[in-house]
């Protein structure tokens, strides 16, 4: 199967972009494996004719928005992000009306229609820098209220308003103070994704995006308790053999696990499922994404 996939990739001049939460068998076939920001940067740079995004819908939409002329496909049509679904265009428009002077920062974990209403997007890797880059004192920030609270903690001079106030990722919201206590007993560092709840982040020794975790792991020999989706821990173990990493077995993003090798092969062979978005939505969303890419990490 792997050989067939590699042959199809080169025959079709395709690039396969894989998120860090994908099953390791899919990661092994990626031309790029990374966090949301790294995937967006690579999607912008690539000259490939066909982009295959192994992740969830918002990642494939971001790649399409940055490559309106190219074909972007996702092997599983209904691989979504429940966090993205918390923020509808109507909710955001209502908040914009209520706070006309606020800047609108939208997490990339959002729909293309919502990105089209944003001044700028951000990822977990650059949310703080993006907010600091803006002249506005008040920021509407959605859909992740935990990430909004983290940014508020790091940028106390601004007022961050979460839209909606209850948006969250069920995988990261599942980390609790009981997990912190258990991790402290094991020893070593507690490393958290910023989508974790504020009371958990307060206890973290390091807060980072998935890509940030992979990079920072190079700088220490200590055991890590990793508070994010469990596949990231498999990747850490692969990159740093001999090191001790603890995962939470229940921390699984179901949508990230929908893609199998057979799905990837079929997607490449039949060039499906194509991401199609209205041009006008893409044009407006692209402005917000490119503004973020200019800020960097
Ligand atoms: P990263 O950008 O850190 O990879 O996070 C994406 C995501 O979906 C987190 O749940
Ligand atoms: Fe969305 Fe959470 Fe899955 Fe990330 S882990 S894709 S935020 S549901």
> Which letter, b or e, does each residue of 93-105 get, where b requires 16 or more Cβ atoms within 10 Å of its Cβ?
eebbeebeebbbb
Q: Is 108 in the pocket of ligand 2 (CB under 6 A)?
A: no
Query: Homologous superfamily of 171-252 in CATH?
Result: NadA-like (3.40.50.10800)
Which atom of ligand 1 is closest in space to residue 209's alpha carbon?
Answer: 3
Report the top-level CATH class of 84-168+284-295: alpha beta
In our burial notation (b when 16+ CB lie closer than 10 A, e otherwise), range 257-287 reads: bbbebebbbebbeebebebebeeebbebbbb
Distance CA 120, CA 48 (A): 26
| Mutation to probe ligand 1, out of 18, 21, 32 (largest number of atoms < 8 A from CB) | 21
Average pLDDT of the residues in 170-183: 98
Average pLDDT of the residues in 19-45: 95
Mutate to test the pocket of ligand 2, among 61, 255, 257, 258 (most ligand atoms within 8 A of CB): 255
CATH number of 2-80+257-277: 3.40.50.10800
82 in ligand 2 pocket by Cβ < 6 Å?
yes
- Answer yes or no: is pLDDT of 296 > 90: no
Q: Ligand 2 in contact with 56 (CB < 6 A)?
A: yes
Residue 297 has pLDDT above 90, yes or no: no
On the CB side of 209, how many CA atoms lie within 13 Å of its CA? 20
Is any atom of ligand 2 closer than 6 Å to the C-beta of 174?
A: no
The strand order across the sheet containing 120-122 reads: 120-122, 103-107, 138-142, 159-162
> Are 210 and 231 spatial neighbours (Cβ–Cβ below 8 Å)?
no
Residues carrying CATH 3.40.50.10800, the chain: 2-80+257-277, 84-168+284-295, 171-252
Please indicate whether residue 208, judged by its CB atom, sits closer than 6 Å to ligand 1. no
pLDDT band at 148 (very low <50, low <70, confident <90, very high): very high
Expressed in angstroms, the distance from the first to the final Cα of the chain is: 36
Question: What is the Å distance from ligand 2's center to 11 Cα?
Answer: 32
Question: What is the pLDDT, as a whole number, of residue 151?
Answer: 98
State the Cα–Cα distance between residues 228 and 49, nearest whole angstrom.
33
In the prediction, which pLDDT does 261 show? 98
ipTM > 0.90?
A: yes
Least confident of 37-41, 60-64, 252-256: 37-41
Which whole number is the average pLDDT over 115-139?
Answer: 98
270-285: pLDDT as tens digits: 999 999 999 999 999 9
Ligand 1 within 6 A of CB of 109: yes
């Amino acid at each position: 199967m792997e050989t067939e996939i590699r042959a199809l990739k080169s025959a079709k001049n395709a690039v396969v972009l894989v998120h860090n939460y994908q099953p390791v068998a899919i990661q092994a076939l990626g031309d790029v494996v990374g966090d949301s920001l790294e995937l967006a940067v690579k999607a912008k740079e690539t000259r490939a004719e066909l982009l295959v995004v192994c992740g969830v819908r918002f990642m494939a939409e971001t790649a399409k928005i940055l490559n309106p002329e190219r074909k972007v496909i996702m092997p599983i049509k209904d691989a979504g992000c429940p966090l993205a679904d918390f923020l509808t265009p109507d909710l955001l428009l209502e908040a914009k009306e209520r706070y006309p002077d606020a800047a609108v920062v939208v997490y990339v974990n959002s729909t293309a229609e919502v990105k089209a209403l944003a001044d700028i997007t951000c990822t977990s890797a650059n949310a703080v820098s993006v907010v600091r880059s803006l002249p506005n004192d008040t920021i509407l920030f959605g859909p992740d209220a935990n990430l909004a609270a983290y940014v508020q903690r790091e940028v106390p001079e601004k007022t961050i308003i979460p839209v909606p106030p209850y948006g969250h990722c069920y995988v990261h919201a599942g980390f609790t103070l009981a997990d912190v206590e258990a991790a402290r007993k094991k020893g070593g560092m507690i490393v958290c994704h910023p989508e974790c709840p504020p009371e958990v982040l307060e206890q973290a020794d390091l807060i980072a995006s998935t890509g940030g975790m992979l990079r920072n792991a190079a700088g220490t020999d200590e055991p890590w308790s990793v508070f994010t989706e469990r596949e990231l821990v498999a990747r850490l173990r692969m990159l740093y053999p001999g090191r001790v990493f603890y995962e939470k077995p229940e921390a699984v993003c179901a949508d990230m696990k929908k893609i199998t090798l057979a799905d990837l092969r079929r997607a490449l062979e039949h060039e499906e499922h194509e991401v199609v978005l209205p041009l006008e939505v893409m044009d407006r969303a692209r402005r917000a994404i490119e503004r973020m890419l200019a800020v960097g990490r």
